[in-house]
Structure 1
Amino acid sequence: MQRVSTLFLKIALFFIGVPILALCVFLVPELGKLAAELLPEFALVKYLVFAVFYASAIPFYIALYQAFKLLQYIDQSKAFTDLAVMALKNIKRCAIAISILHVLVLPLFYLFAEKDDAPGVIFVGLVVPFASMVIAVFAAVLQKLLKEAIDIKSENDLTV
C-alpha cells in the first residue's frame, strides 16, 4: 500500500510540473508582450517579466525534484534520516526563493492596477508569494518534527 501511495504522489508531481512548463513556454512570452503594451514607458518591463517567471521556475523544479527524492526515501524506508531532513530544508529554501521573487514584482502589479483602475490585480499578485510562504512554513514545521523524531530515535537506539 505504501508504494502505491508514493507512486500516486510521484505521478502527481509530474502532473504539477507539466502545466508550469507549459505556462513558461506559452504564457510567459504573452505576459511579457502584454506588460510591454500596458506599460510602454517602462521599456524593460518585458524582460523583467521574463526574468521573474523563468527565475522562479528554477526553484520550483528544484523543489519538485526534492519532493520526488523524499518520496524515494520513503519507498526505501529512509524517511527518518538526515537525507529526508535535507530534502525538506531544500524545499523550504526553494519556496522562500519563489516568494521573494514574486514579492519583488508586486510593484509591477501595482502599476497594472493603476493603469486599469482594478485594485483586485494587487491581490492576484499576492497569491503566489502567499502560497509559497505557506509551503515554506509547512516544510519548516515538517523538517523540525522529522529532526526531533530522528533525535528521539537515535537516543532510543543508544539506550538499548
Structure 2
Amino acid sequence: MERGTTLFLKLTVFLIGIPVVAACLFGLPSIAKEAAEHYPAYWLYPVLIAMYMSAVPFFFALYQAFRLLTYIDKNVAFSELSVKALKHIKYCAIAIGLLYAAAAPFLFLIADEDDAPGLFAIGLVVIFASTVIAVFAAVLQKLLKHAIDIKSENDLTI
C-alpha cells in the first residue's frame, strides 16, 4: 500500500476523534444541563455515564487503528502485532455496545416520556454499529491469523 494512502487514513482516524472530543467537552454537558430540567437524575445519569465511559474504548480503538496503519507502513501488517490490534478493536467495540445496551432502558424511558422514539433508535444504531464493527474485526483477526499461519508454514518448508 502506498504511503500516501495510509497517511490519508491516519489523518482520517485523527479527524474522527475530534468531534467525539468536542461532544464530550461541549455537547454532552449542555445536553445534560437542559435534560436535567425535564427528567429525573436517576434516568439521566446512567445515560451520561455510559456515553462518557464509551469514549474511553472509542479512543483506544482509534489508537489501535492508528497502530495498525503504522504496521502497514512498516510492512509488518502480517504479524502478531496486527492480530493483537484487531483483537483490541474487537473488544473495544464490544465494550461500547455493552455500555449502550446497559443505557438503553434509560434511553427508552426518556424517549417514552418525551414521545421521541428517534432517541431510542439512535441508541440502537450505536449498539448495532458497534456489533458490526466487533464482528468485522473478529473476521479480519481470524483471516489475518490464518494468513500468518500459512506464511509461517511456507517459511518453514523453504
Question: Which TM-score bucket, shorter chain as reference?
Answer: over 0.9
Matched, 1:2 2:2: yes
Amino acid at match of 2:135: V
Retained in 1: the 8 A contact 2:47–2:107? Answer: no
Retained in 2: the 8 A contact 1:102–1:129? Answer: yes
| Corresponding residue of 1:17 | 17
Give percent identity, aligned residues only: 59
For 2:73 and 2:117, the matched residues in 1 are separated by: 47
| Corresponding residue of 2:74 | 76
> Structure 2: which 5+ residue stretches go unaligned?
none
| Corresponding residue of 2:130 | 132
Q: How many Å apart are 1:47 and its aligned residue?
A: 3.1
Retained in 1: the 8 A contact 2:10–2:66? Answer: yes
Amino acid at match of 1:55: M
Q: How many Å apart are 1:118 and its aligned residue?
A: 2.8
Alignment: residue pair count: 158
Tell me, what secondary structure is at the counterpart of 2:77? coil
Alignment of 1:3-152 (within 5 A): 3-40=3-40, 43-152=41-150
Amino acid at match of 2:79: T
> Structure 1: which 5+ residue stretches go unaligned?
none
Amino acid at match of 2:117: P
Q: Which moved more, 1:52-61 or 1:109-118?
A: 109-118
Q: How many Å apart are 1:64 and its aligned residue?
A: 0.3
For 2:50 and 2:118, the matched residues in 1 are separated by: 21
RMSD: 1.4
